[in-house]
């Protein structure tokens, strides 16, 4: 998969001779608010794989990961305060809320700790943000559907975790796309919590009250559950936008082979956690890093389905993991 964010390797050459402080004694922690779906599990696995090697190589002294049990901002704020007391040099945060953690984030910054947020970003000015344009990701679904079905139709929207920045942003993009394409209407909306089992139950619960559904717009981790709910209800299978999970891609491939089923799949790569790690390491290393860094979402189309399915582990998510060199090039691109 091509990383469109990467600049020419000349950027690295320009930086090769620049000296920066050693980070071998620095300790970085991951504060994660939720691990209840395959994307979050893949995110944590990518973190462990890449940061574990960085510790082995002596790049940093530690890269410990912590996940809260209840996905509550108050619990995560307490977790961050504990990391401050433990003396971590940097904290990488996947946040339960863009605002509710700001007090704890500011405490960390005031203590001289670098804070880098990703995926669920924070808006405290002292923190860095590694973000996907989630609104654009949501809108891209309508861009696809207006071509796939020019006559439009009724949509079912499956949202993510209520109250989380990512859920609000993707939904805003979907609604913006509907406003631009009024031949589509949102007939119903449920929260699937980015989990197939939750999505299946939620869709099964709302289907009896819905008209014929032309397409299902989603946020990731919900497409296969939606497909199962439509099948169980004996309703025609609409176009269901997928979210790069292996079970979704496998189902899509089976339907494609059986009847030519077409759709697209889009999500943020779980390996964005590794980019956030390297960004934190680079800041500790003395680099001048812009506060806001943007990475592209990972999209799979009809002609790239098989290649992506082949490289996605069973139960996993299509992924990209990042190196220190990738982080340097992302930083330079942002300048």
Average pLDDT over residues 116-145: 96
Is CATH 3.40.640.10 the right assignment for the domain spanning 134-267?
Answer: no
* Distance separating alpha carbons of residues 117 and 92, to the nearest angstrom: 6
Structure tokens at 80: 């961050």
Cα–Cα distances in Å, from 98 out to 114, 119, 194, 334? Answer: 17, 10, 18, 22
User: Which pLDDT band, with edges at 50, 70 and 90, does 43 fall under?
Assistant: very high
pLDDT confidence of residue 21: 55
pLDDT tens track for 302-316: 999 999 999 999 999
User: Which pLDDT band, with edges at 50, 70 and 90, does 71 fall under?
Assistant: confident
Domain parsing of the chain, residue ranges? 10-132+269-299+319-334, 134-267
pLDDT confidence of residue 165: 86
pLDDT tens track for 183-228: 999 999 999 999 999 999 999 999 999 999 999 999 999 999 999 9
- Whether 5 has a pLDDT exceeding 70, the answer reads no
pLDDT tens track for 254-280: 999 999 999 999 999 999 999 999 999
- Are 95 and 77 contacting, i.e. CB atoms less than 8 angstroms apart? no
pLDDT confidence of residue 214: 98
Mean pLDDT across the chain: 93
* Distance separating alpha carbons of residues 52 and 222, to the nearest angstrom: 31
Closest to 133 measured CA to CA, from 119, 146, 147, 116: 119
Kindly calculate the radius of gyration of the chain based on its CA atoms and give it in whole angstroms: 20
Average pLDDT over residues 21-40: 93
* Distance separating alpha carbons of residues 75 and 96, to the nearest angstrom: 10
User: Which pLDDT band, with edges at 50, 70 and 90, does 176 fall under?
Assistant: very high
Q: Do domains 10-132+269-299+319-334 and 134-267 have the same CATH topology?
A: yes
Q: Which residues contact 10 (CB under 8 A, 6 or more apart)?
A: none
- Whether 2 has a pLDDT exceeding 70, the answer reads no
Number of C-beta neighbours around residue 168 at 10 A: 16
DSSP H or E segment with residue 81: helix 73-85
pLDDT confidence of residue 163: 84
Q: What is the pTM of this model?
A: 0.84
CATH architecture classification, 10-132+269-299+319-334: 3-Layer(aba) Sandwich (3.40)
Number of C-beta neighbours around residue 212 at 10 A: 10
């Amino acid at each position: 998969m091509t990383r469109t964010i990467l600049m020419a390797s000349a950027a690295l050459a320009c930086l090769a001779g620049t000296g920066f402080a050693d980070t071998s004694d620095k300790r970085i922690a991951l504060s994660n608010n939720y691990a209840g779906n395959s994307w979050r599990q893949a995110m944590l696995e990518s973190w462990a794989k890449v940061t574990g090697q960085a510790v082995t190589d002596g790049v940093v002294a530690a890269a410990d990961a912590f996940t809260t049990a209840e996905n509550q901002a108050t619990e995560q704020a307490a977790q961050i305060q504990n990391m401050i007391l433990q003396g971590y040099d940097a904290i990488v945060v996947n946040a339960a809320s863009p605002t509710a953690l700001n007090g704890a984030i500011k405490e960390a910054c005031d203590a001289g700790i670098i804070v880098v947020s990703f995926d669920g970003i924070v808006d405290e000015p002292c923190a860095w943000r590694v973000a996907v344009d989630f609104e654009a990701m949501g809108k891209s679904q309508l861009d696809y559907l207006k071509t796939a079905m020019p006559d439009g139709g009724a949509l079912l929207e499956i949202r993510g975790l209520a109250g989380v920045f990512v859920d609000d942003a993707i939904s805003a993009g979907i609604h913006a796309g509907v406003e631009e394409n009024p031949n589509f209407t949102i007939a119903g909306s449920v929260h699937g919590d980015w989990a197939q089992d939750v999505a299946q139950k939620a869709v099964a619960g709302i289907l009896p009250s819905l008209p014929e559904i032309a397409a299902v717009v989603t946020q990731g981790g919900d497409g296969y559950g939606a497909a199962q709910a439509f099948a169980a209800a004996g309703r025609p299978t609409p176009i269901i936008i997928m979210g790069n999970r292996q079970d979704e891609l496998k189902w899509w491939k089976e339907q494609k082979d059986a009847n030519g089923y077409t759709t697209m799949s889009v999500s943020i790569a779980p390996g964005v956690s590794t980019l956030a790690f390297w960004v934190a390491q680079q800041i500790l290393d003395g680099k001048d890093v812009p506060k806001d860094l943007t990475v592209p979402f990972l999209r799979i189309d009809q002609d790239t389905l098989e290649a992506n399915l082949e490289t996605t582990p069973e139960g996993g998510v299509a992924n990209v993991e990042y190196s220190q060199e990738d982080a340097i090039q992302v930083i330079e691109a942002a300048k």
